[in-house]
Amino acid sequence: MYADLLDLLVALDRIPQDPRYHPEGDALYHSLQVFQHARRESRDPALVAAALLHDVGKALRSGDHAVEGADLLEGLVAPRVVWLVRHHLDLLHSPGATRRHLRGTVKLHDLELLRRWDLAGRSPRASVCSPEEAVTHLTLDPAALGPDADESPHGKDPSSR
């Protein structure tokens, strides 16, 4: 699993992003920044995993990177992480509908955190850890990737099933 996740993450190295929205540079540097914001603010291993892996679909350079990234992660990480990656742009593309649909759920709370970290991970001068360190952090806590990651630390989400 470590090698698979590392390969997906390292594939983001030198993947360009639109400088109007991503002045920080490539998708790997951005993902590592988002991961570090998540680690500082959350003790939820699945949410931290989603922060690190949210853009892995950008390496394919086609279509909807959120959907493609979630498809790449299916079977490697917990379904909750896959869901967060698949929906990490919902608050950007359709904020009103997303908020109405998920009102009062842990999923909305998680998407709001992920969106905030995604926006914060855009510094051209940030200091980040290596991809190896980031993936090691995820694999040290089996709750980040295993079936237990479907259970939020805030309690069971009524909209999760």
pLDDT in tens, 59-85: 998 789 999 999 999 999 999 999 999
DSSP lists the bridge partners of residue 77 as 74
**pTM, full prediction:** 0.88
Say if residue 38's pLDDT is above 50.
yes
- Residue at 84: amino acid letter: L
Rounded mean pLDDT of 94-115? 97
Taking the C-alpha atoms of residue 72 and residue 15, their distance in angstroms, rounded to an integer, is: 17
% of the chain surpassing 70 pLDDT: 89
Contact 128, 32 (CB under 8 A): yes
Taking the C-alpha atoms of residue 73 and residue 108, their distance in angstroms, rounded to an integer, is: 21
pLDDT at 147: 64
Output the DSSP codes for 6-18. Answer: HHHHHTTTT----
Say if residue 154's pLDDT is above 70.
no
